[in-house]
């Protein structure tokens, strides 16, 4: 009996051992690389003194090179990214305002843009282009170190003996960026990118372009480093373009982009073509010059590529060009007379004068001020050449006559006053645009009387407005006759279809005797953006996003007016 149990235990032990061996084999099979050559590299990230972490980064060994999976590297650095089929866009915020780095398969140039649009873009050149393998971007470890060092300005090193990449995110590199790029030898010394330097001698890099004007044309010289490149020239077409291409050549696109004046060569625009080639589009001015021929020469001794342009001046075109310049000078002087360079924005009411008040307590003065500020921002952003003048930018009381003086003294070319309406009939809604003139409807007169009543808020209004009765102001609209047509044009452009989408427009252009429109000596309009007495419109008018929409549709109206006005003025000058 005991002998049988011993045999049974031996058999069970053998079976359990076999089972464990099979499970271990399956586990090892699951953990083994899915493809030959796949491996991982240890990434040590230092985020502060004695602070940091270590993670594994996916990699591959291809033809003796250790290729790093860029997406895995970015994940390990805890950066935001998106993979767009062969293009990796990475965002970092190690410093303010942060940058966005774009890496593309097959492209030796990496684009770095700052989140601050005023800062210039940067181009980082790699000696090896990233390789796309099954939606993964792979790059040699030496070039990965170079990329992240130059981009982030941080110390990035690869220790070949330990197989570890080390990056310090807590401080910037000391000295030149390239001084801390590369790999460490077994003895700990830095191999200063010897592989990259070898690669530099095995390719063509265009280092500069020089254009020399000659009496019979121009000489274009491309300076280069590295080995000679196979070059080709596609000569002049009827549009004036010549195309110069270099195989397996590279260069700084932004530095090699050139624009010239007074020469047969107008511009040179480089493009990094697919297959690691560089193509230059050379624009020749075949309007002022008669281009006879374009030739290509190569200076092997100095490693230069030269393009010779043979041309003669086009006497007829040159004479016409002189006339055009003379006319342009005359026009530029006259343009200043009619140029719409100053717009005056008037926010109705303010301070002790709230204007109309809605059922939920919304004040006309607040709505008008917000819309005027938003409109002013749109004008300043879209038209940097146009000055915006505000009759008030805060919650202050400004007399009506003073508003007109501000407009006139600032040299305004356009005056727009923003208001909200009110009516005892709370169902009335919509927007209206008014210009100065004799009222044609009882409703227009009532609106004018309500807006003009603000003068009673002024301490000395009886003296300041002596003789300026409402009836007299209406009759005095003739003082604005010189601008009546332009004011009506402004009002019609404000009442455009886009504006109707934001606020329901009840009618066309109205005329009434508004005091605020009487004194500005320029095209003027008063806009009632909606009725605070209407509950639905009050809800819209007190909403900041809706106020911005209203301001933008007003800007679109002013934009349409400006285009029409300047076109008409130019046409009048040419007659």
Both tokens of 476, joined, read: 């005095």
Of 365, 439, 419, 454, the C-alpha closest to 531 is 419
Give CA separation, 219 vs 204, 291, 294, 369, 389, in Å. Answer: 21, 13, 10, 61, 52
User: Within this chain, do residues 43 and 162 fall inside the same structural domain, yes or no?
Assistant: yes
Q: Report the C-alpha gap between 520 and 512 in whole angstroms.
A: 15
Sign of CA pseudo-dihedral 316, 320, 325, 326 = positive
Q: Cis peptide before 544, with omega less than 30 degrees from 0? A: no
The model's pTM: 0.40
Last residue of a domain, one of 299, 315, 331: 315
Residue 396 lies in a domain: yes
259 part of a folded domain: yes
Sign of CA dihedral 77, 83, 89, 95: negative
CB 503 within 8 A of CB 395: no
Residues 530 and 407 in one domain: yes
The DSSP code sequence of 265-307 is EEEEEEEEETTTEEEEEEEE-TTTEEEEEEEEEEETTTTEEEE
Q: Are residues 54 and 143 in the same domain?
A: yes
Tell me how far apart the alpha carbons of residues 510 and 247 are, in angstroms, rounded to a whole number. 69
Q: CA 384 to CA 367: how far, in whole Å? A: 25
Q: Is residue 107 part of a domain?
A: no
Residues 6 or more apart whose Cβ sits within 8 Å of residue 515: 400, 401, 451, 452, 455, 465, 468, 473
Q: Give the per-residue pLDDT at 313.
A: 73
Are 368 and 463 part of one and the same domain?
yes
* Predicted pLDDT at 30: 41
Neighbours of 524 (CB within 10 A): 30
CA distance 177 to 150: 6
CATH of residue 267:
2.60.40.3500
The reported pLDDT for the residue numbered 411 is 84
Residues 416 and 522: their CA atoms lie apart, in Å, by: 10
Tell me the per-residue pLDDT of 31-75, one tens digit each, with 9 for 90 and over. 444 455 889 999 999 887 778 899 999 999 888 889 999 999 999
CA angle, residues 238, 239, 241, in degrees to nearest 5: 100
Q: Does 335 map to a domain? A: no
Round to whole Å and give the CA distance between 334 and 378: 27
Do 355 and 305 have their domain in common? no
Shared domain check, 385 and 302: no
Task: Specify whether the backbone of 501 is left (phi greater than 0), alpha (psi in -120 to 50) or beta.
Answer: alpha
Instruction: Flag whether 477 is in a domain.
Output: yes
CA-based nearest residue to 365, from 375, 354, 374? 354
Expressed as residue numbers, the domain containing 92 is: 38-97+128-195
Chain centroid offset of residue 354 CA: 40
Euclidean distance between CA atoms 572 and 331, whole angstroms: 12
Q: Which among 128, 126, 163, 167 is positioned nearest to 147, based on CA atoms?
A: 126
Nearest to 264 by CA among 294, 243, 244, 234: 294
pLDDT in tens, the chain (575 residues): 445 445 445 554 555 544 544 544 444 444 444 455 889 999 999 887 778 899 999 999 888 889 999 999 999 999 999 988 889 999 998 877 889 999 999 888 888 898 888 787 888 888 788 999 888 999 999 889 889 988 888 888 888 778 899 998 877 754 333 333 444 444 434 444 444 444 444 578 888 999 998 888 899 999 988 777 778 887 766 678 888 888 878 888 888 998 887 788 989 999 887 656 888 999 988 777 888 888 888 887 778 899 999 888 765 555 555 555 555 554 454 445 567 889 999 999 999 889 999 999 999 999 999 999 999 999 999 999 999 999 999 999 988 778 888 888 888 888 899 999 998 899 999 888 877 654 445 565 555 555 555 545 555 544 554 444 444 444 344 444 556 677 777 888 887 634 343 334 445 667 655 555 656 667 888 898 999 999 999 999 999 999 999 999 999 999 988 887 766 655 544 54
Q: Does residue 546 lie in a domain region?
A: yes
- Please tell me the total count of domains within the chain: 3
Within this chain, do residues 506 and 447 fall inside the same structural domain, yes or no? yes
Asked, for residue 29, whether it belongs to a domain, the answer is no
Q: Are residues 221 and 164 in the same domain?
A: no
**Are 496 and 559 found together in one domain?**
yes
Beta-bridge mates of residue 250: 205
Instruction: Specify whether 145 is located in the same domain as 220.
Output: no
Which CATH number is 433's domain given? 3.40.630.40
CA-CA distance, 299 to 66, in Å (whole number)? 38
pLDDT tens column, 490-549 = 888 887 634 343 334 445 667 655 555 656 667 888 898 999 999 999 999 999 999 999
- Is 454 inside any structural domain? yes
Instruction: Give the burial class of 54: count Cβ atoms within 10 A of its Cβ; 0-12 exposed, 13-18 middle, 19 or more buried.
Output: exposed
Are 258 and 211 contacting, i.e. CB atoms less than 8 angstroms apart? yes
Q: What 3-state class would DSSP assign to 179? A: helix
303 & 180 share domain: no
In this structure, the answer to whether residues 59 and 151 fall within a common structural domain is yes
- Last residue in a domain, options 146, 161, 195: 195
Q: Could you count the other beta carbons within 10 Å of the beta carbon of residue 192?
A: 13
Distance CA 4, CA 408 (A): 118
């Amino acid at each position: 009996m005991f002998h049988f149990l011993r045999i049974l235990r031996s058999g069970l032990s053998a079976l359990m051992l076999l089972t464990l061996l099979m499970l271990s084999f399956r586990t090892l099979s699951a953990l083994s690389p899915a493809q030959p050559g796949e491996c991982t590299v240890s990434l040590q990230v230092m985020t502060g003194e004695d602070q940091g972490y270590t993670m594994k980064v996916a990699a591959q060994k291809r033809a003796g090179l250790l290729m790093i999976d860029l997406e895995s590297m970015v994940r390990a650095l805890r950066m935001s990214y998106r993979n767009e089929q062969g293009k990796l866009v990475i965002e970092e915020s190690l410093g303010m305002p942060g940058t966005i780095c774009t890496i593309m398969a097959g492209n030796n140039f990496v684009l770095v843009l700052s989140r601050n649009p005023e800062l210039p873009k940067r181009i980082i050149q790699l000696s090896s282009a990233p390789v796309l393998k099954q939606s993964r971007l792979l790059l040699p470890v030496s070039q990965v170190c170079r990329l992240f060092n130059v981009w982030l300005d941080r110390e990035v090193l690869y220790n070949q003996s330990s197989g570890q990449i080390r990056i310090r995110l807590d401080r910037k590199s000391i000295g030149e960026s390239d001084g801390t790029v590369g790999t460490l030898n077994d003895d700990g010394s830095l191999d200063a990118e010897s592989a990259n330097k070898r690669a530099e001698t095995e390719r063509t890099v265009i280092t500069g372009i020089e254009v020399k004007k000659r009496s019979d044309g121009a000489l274009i010289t491309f300076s280069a480093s590295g080995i000679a490149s196979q070059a080709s020239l596609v000569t002049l077409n009827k549009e004036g373009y010549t195309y110069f291409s270099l195989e397996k050549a590279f260069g700084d696109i932004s530095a090699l982009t050139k624009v010239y004046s007074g020469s047969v060569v107008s511009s040179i625009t480089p493009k990094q073509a697919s297959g690691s080639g560089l193509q230059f589009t050379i624009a020749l001015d075949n309007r002022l010059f008669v281009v006879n021929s374009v030739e290509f020469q190569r200076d092997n001794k100095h490693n230069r590529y030269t393009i010779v342009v043979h041309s003669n001046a086009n006497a007829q075109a040159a004479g016409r060009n002189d006339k055009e310049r003379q006319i342009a000078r005359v026009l530029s002087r006259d343009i200043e007379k009619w140029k719409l360079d100053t717009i005056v924005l008037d926010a109705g009411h303010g301070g002790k004068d709230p204007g109309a008040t809605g059922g939920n307590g919304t004040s006309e003065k607040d709505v008008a001020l917000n819309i005027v500020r938003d409109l002013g921002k749109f004008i300043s952003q879209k038209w940097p050449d146009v000055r915006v003048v505000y009759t008030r930018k805060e919650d202050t009381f400004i007399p009506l006559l003073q508003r007109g003086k501000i407009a006139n003294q600032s040299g305004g070319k356009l005056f727009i006053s923003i208001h909200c309406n009110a009516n005892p009939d709370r169902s009335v809604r919509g927007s209206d645009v008014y210009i100065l003139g004799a009222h044609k409807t009882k409703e227009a007169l009532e609106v004018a009387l309500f807006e003009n009543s603000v003068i009673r808020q002024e301490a000395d209004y009886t003296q300041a407005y002596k003789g300026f009765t409402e009836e007299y102001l209406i009759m005095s609209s003739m003082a604005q006759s010189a601008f009546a047509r332009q004011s009506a044009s402004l009002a019609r452009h404000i009442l455009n279809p886009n504006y109707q989408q934001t606020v329901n427009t009840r009618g066309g252009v109205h005329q009434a005797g508004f005091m605020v429109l009487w004194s500005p000596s320029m095209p003027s309009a008063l806009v009632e953006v909606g009725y605070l007495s209407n509950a639905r419109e009050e809800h819209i008018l007190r909403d900041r996003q809706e106020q911005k929409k209203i301001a933008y549709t007003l800007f679109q109206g002013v934009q349409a007016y400006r285009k029409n006005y300047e076109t008409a003025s130019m046409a009048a000058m040419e007659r």
